[in-house]
Amino acid sequence: MSQPKFPNTKGSIFSAINKLVTETGAIDLSLGKTDFQCPEKLAELAATYIRSGYNNYAPHEGIRELREVISSRVKSAYKHTYNPETEITITAGPIQAIMTAISSVVKDEDEVILFEPAYESYAPAIASTGARPVYVALKQPNFHIDWEEVRKMVTSKTRMIILNSPHNPTGSVLAETDFVQLQKLINGTNIVVLSDEVFETIVFDNSTHQSIAKFDKLAERSFIVSSFGPVFNINGWGLAYILGPEKLMNEFRRIQQFQIYNVNTPLQYALSEYLLTEDSKKDISEMYQGKRNYFNRLLGGSLFKIVPSQGSYFEVLDYSAISDESDTDFTYRLATDYGVGVIPISAFMHEKNKMKLIRICFAKNNETLEIAAERLRSVPCLK
C-alpha cells in the first residue's frame, strides 16, 4: 500500500467551519470573504474582454501587459526593478504561487523555517517536496519574531525561510529592523526567502509596508508573492503574481508550465488595463482601518481581549477570560450557541496548544459587524 503524501497534515478546519456556519446560520467572521464588490469599471472590463474573444491560452508566464504594469507599480512603490520578461510571473492565485516556489527550490531532506501561527498551505507544500518544516513561534503579545531564536534554528540543511507580512492570521506587520536582521542572518548562506505579501496594500496606523523588494540584497535571493485580490475584492478570480530574480524564476516557470500552463486570459487583460489608471492603496487601508476601529469599539464591554490588527483584514481575539475550553471547542460553541463563526488559532499551528485565541475577519459591512459584536458581547464567563 502506498504511503500518504501528507502523513502528518491535518485536514483543513476551514471546510469544517464553513459547513458549521452554513448549518447554524451563524454570522461568518471566519473565512476571508469580503462583503464588498469589485470596482464596476473592472467588472465591465472583464466582461468586455470575454465578449471580445480574449478567451484562448495566455503565455504560461502571463500576458506581457500585466507583467509590465506590475513591474512599474513595484518600482514606484519599492524602488526595485523587476524585469517583466524574466522576473515576473502571473499565477493561479497565491497558494499555487507559494507551492510552486517551494517546489522549485526545496528538495528532499532540506529544512524550511516558518513562523507560527502560519497560513495552512505552507507546511503541506514543504512536506510535498520531502523537506522538513522547522517551526518558530511568533512571540506574544504582538506576534513578533525573535531573531536570536531563528539564528539557533538555522542549520546547513536550511534552504528556505518563509515570511508573511501583513500576517494571516494575526494581523501583525514586520518592521524594517526585521529585514535588517534577516539579511544578516542569511548572509553567506544559500538560503532563499519566500515572502508572502498578499496583504501589502492593507497596513494601518500610518505604517508603511516593508517589502523584500526594498532591500536589494534580499531581493536578489527572494520570491515575493502578492495579489490584487484583497484590494479590488477579486480573490475569487484566481489571479496572483510572483516576483523573483531570473535565476529563481527560470526554475519556477519550468515547474509552473507543467502544473497549470495558463491563467485566466480575459481577466488578466481586464486587470492590466484597469491598473493603468487605478490606485486604491491609500483608500483601501483607510477603509479597513476604519472597519477595524469600528468593530473594536463595538466590542467594548465584552469579555474578549483584542489583539489589535496592524494590517490585513484579520484580527485576533483572546477569550481566556471567558472559557478554559480549547480554541476548537470554543469556536464550535460560538457558532452553535451565539451565532458567530470564527477560526481557532490552532488551525494555523502544527501541534495542539493552550492559547485561547480565535481569528475574526472584519471585511464586512457595518450591519454585519454590529450584529456580530452584539452577539460576542453577550458571551458570559463560562468557567
For residue 80, give the 3-state DSSP assignment: coil
User: Given a cut of 90, is residue 252 above it in pLDDT?
Assistant: yes
* Helix segments in the chain, DSSP class H: 13-24, 40-51, 64-78, 94-105, 122-127, 147-153, 176-186, 216-219, 229-232, 246-256, 265-275, 281-298, 327-338, 366-377
Cell readout for 124 is: 503541506
- Whether 36 shows a pLDDT value over 70: the answer reads yes
At 18 the pLDDT is 85
Query: What confidence tens digit (pLDDT) does each residue in 281-304 have?
Result: 568 999 999 999 999 999 999 999
> pLDDT at position 144, please?
96
Q: Is the pLDDT of residue 272 over 50?
A: yes
Mean pLDDT of 10-35: 85
Contact status, residue 139 vs residue 17, Cβ threshold 8 Å: no
Mean pLDDT of the chain: 93
Q: Which residue has the higher pLDDT, 199 or 31?
A: 199
What pLDDT is attached to residue 380?
A: 96
277 CB-contact burial (10 Å; exposed 0-12 / middle 13-18 / buried 19+): exposed
Q: Would you state the pLDDT for residue 279?
A: 62
Give residue 280's pLDDT band: very low, low, confident or very high (50, 70, 90): low
- Confidence band, pLDDT 50/70/90 cuts, at residue 7: very low
The pLDDT of residue 1 is 41
Q: 202-243 pLDDT, tens per residue?
A: 999 999 999 999 999 999 999 999 999 999 999 999 999 999
pLDDT greater than 80 at residue 343: yes
Cα gap 29→370, rounded to integer Å: 12
What architecture (CATH level 2) is domain 13-31+281-377? Alpha-Beta Complex (3.90)
Answer whether 106's CB lies under 8 Å from 131's CB.
yes
Contacts of residue 121, Cβ cutoff 8 Å, sequence gap at least 6: 95, 98, 99
Question: pLDDT band at residue 153, thresholds of 50, 70 and 90?
Answer: very high
Q: What is the DSSP letter of 61?
A: T
Q: Which residues pair with 192 in a beta bridge?
A: 160
Phi first, then psi: what are they for 242, rounded to 5°? -130, 140
What whole-number distance in Å separates Cα of residue 301 and Cα of residue 292? 16
CATH 3.40.640.10 fits 56-275, yes or no: yes
* Mean pLDDT of the region 253-271: 94
Give me the pLDDT at residue 76, please.
Answer: 94
CA distances from 352 to 62, 344, 348, 349, 356 (A): 41, 11, 10, 7, 12
Pairing of strands 340-341, 27-28: parallel
Q: Where in the chain is the domain with CATH 3.90.1150.10?
A: 13-31+281-377
Per-residue cell: 349: 499551528
Where are the domain boundaries for CATH 3.40.640.10 in the chain?
56-275
Contact 71, 84 (CB under 8 A): yes
Spatial separation of the C-alpha atoms in residues 261 and 264, rounded to whole Å: 10
pLDDT more than 90, % of the chain:
88
